[in-house]
Every structure is written in C-alpha cells, then in structure tokens.
Amino acid sequence: MKISLLTPPSPNAEPWYPTFEKKGVKVYFNSVHPECDFIMSIAPSGYFGLLEMYHNTFPHIPIIIYLWDMYKTIWQPPIKYDWPKHIQYCKDAAEVWCPSNEVIRRAGEEGVDTSKCKLVKTWARFFDYQGEVVDKRYILQPLRAYPNDKNYGWLKKAAAELNIPVYESQNRLSEEEFQKVVAECSFMCCEYHETSTGGLTLLEGYNLGKVSVVSDSPYEGVRDYLGDRAIYFNDNNYEDFKAKIKETWENTPVLDRKECEEFCKQHPTLDDMVDQMIERLEALSN
C-alpha cells in the first residue's frame, strides 16, 4: 500500500510516518505519487493548500482526513482556518478519522456524514520522568489559549479569587521543562467548554498520578480519554467550577501511581493507532 501523508510539524503526527513504513506501508511525506492508494491529511491545518493542489492534480486518489480539532473557538481570530474548505473536504473524504466522540458530534452538526466518521484515538507521549514526582502547590493549565471559548479565563479568575497559584505552559517549554511542571503540579485543569481530547497532557499527567478538573460539556473530548478518573464541573456554572477548584486545592487527591500507570497502559500506543489506521485503509481498499 502507498499513501501520501500531509501534516505540518507535529510531535503527535510525524511519528506516524516511520511507523507506517515499519509496517510495510510506503509513505510519501508531504508529497504524493500518482499510484498512491490514499491521500491522508491532518485537519485543521495550514497545509490544506497542499491537499487542494494534490487533489486537483490526482482527483482519482481518495482522501482520508484525520480531524484533530473541530471546535468553533478556532474558526475565529486569532486562530482562524478556512473552515468552509475544511468542511467540504471532510464531506468529500472516503473517511474522516476523529480522536474523540466530541469531534464526531461537532462534524455531524456541520453537515459531515457521521457514518463515515471513525473514532481513532490518538496516542499519548507518556514519559518516564527521571526526577521526583512531588506537589509544589500550583495548578497547571497545559493547553494553549482559546480566547473564544465561553469558559476562557475561568481558571485565572477563580485562582485570583481563591489566592491559588496557576502555571500556564502555553506550549512554550522545552521537553525537560514540560515534564518538570507536570511532575510538580498539584493538579491540572482544562476549563474549556470544547476540546478534542482535553489536551493529551491531562492523560500524560495522570500517568504520574496527577488528577485533572475538567468540564462536563458534551463537547469536551477528555471523557473519551480519562472517563470517570477526572473531576468534572458543571460547564454552565462558574460558581460550581470555582467550588471544584477550591475543593481539589484544599483536598488534593493522592492517587495510586501504579494504578494510574496500569490505566494508561490500556490507552492506544503509537503502534496501536497506526495498526487501526492500516486496518481502516485495508477495509476501504477491498
């Protein structure tokens, strides 16, 4: 099998390339060959112009979309993509692979046929922290800023009112610095109404025994990753959010790290994820 894989720089998607090849799938990375069986593209992506160019050149090659994010907060400035074009390619694709049921739900609301949307959970980059896992008394918010999310700013507001320190990593840390702030936080929080996975750091942190406070919104994809192992607040009630932060701060759960690790071992690995993608490609080829 030959595939074209179109993706911007990504620590989560770029490792697919060597893993596909290890399993016997020839990959044309950010390029295409006329004999490719599929063109596979990450979305949303600034590389969609590349998909458009290759699709116009080779219209006979079916498209697969891995729809990483599908929430309305990134349809508007300062994070803005050409959503009519993204949606049209999702509608035209042979299949749309989604990291959570939240993404499938939102795709359906935007007119994508959900019968061709398949749940393909993304792998997490669990790390073996070499330092000491401790509680240095701060809340970690590991996601980038989504200013258009209806709950944006809730954590800063609650933390200021409760006099609790918060650290926002904002995707600006080195790998070593990132691991350290996860290993030393009291707990993590994603206040957002809508995300595709809640941020994989929440799962990676759980592997170290760190709990997370998250929204119970039906558009919050973390439920597919942490299930009942997170602390959920009422998405429509700031005071409930603040109360959950206060309670979790004053009575921070001490989790059994070994049990957390066992739970995380059930999550799809990079190999598992690529195996599922190959299985879907083979099914579409028959």
If you write DSSP's letter for every residue of 5-58 in order, what string do you get? EE--S-TTTTTHHHHHHHTT-EEEET---TT-SEEEEEES-TTHHHHHHHHHH-
What's the pLDDT score for residue 144?
87
Q: Which two tokens stand for residue 141?
A: 């918010």
What's the pLDDT score for residue 76?
65
Each as own residue / partner, the long-range contacts of residues 151-156 (CB below 8 Å, 24 or more positions apart, any chain) are 151/191, 151/192, 151/193, 151/215, 151/235, 151/241, 152/73, 152/191, 152/192, 154/191, 154/238, 154/241, 154/242, 155/189, 155/191, 155/245
What's the pLDDT score for residue 38?
98
DSSP state of 116: G
DSSP state of 196: S
Judge contact between 47 and 81, C-beta under 8 A.
no
Question: What is the C-alpha separation between 131 and 283, in angstroms, rounded?
Answer: 45
Question: What is the C-alpha separation between 119 and 70, in angstroms, rounded?
Answer: 14
Domains detected in the chain: 2-123+268-285 (3.40.50.2000), 139-265 (3.40.50.2000)
DSSP state of 162: H
Mean pLDDT by 10 residues, the chain (286 residues): 92 94 96 96 80 94 92 64 83 96 93 96 93 97 90 97 94 89 97 93 97 96 96 98 98 97 97 98 95
What's the pLDDT score for residue 78?
57
What's the pLDDT score for residue 87?
87
Amino acid at 121: K
CA–chain centroid gap for 269, Å, is 14
- The residues pairing with 190 across neighbouring beta strands, listed in sequence order, are 214
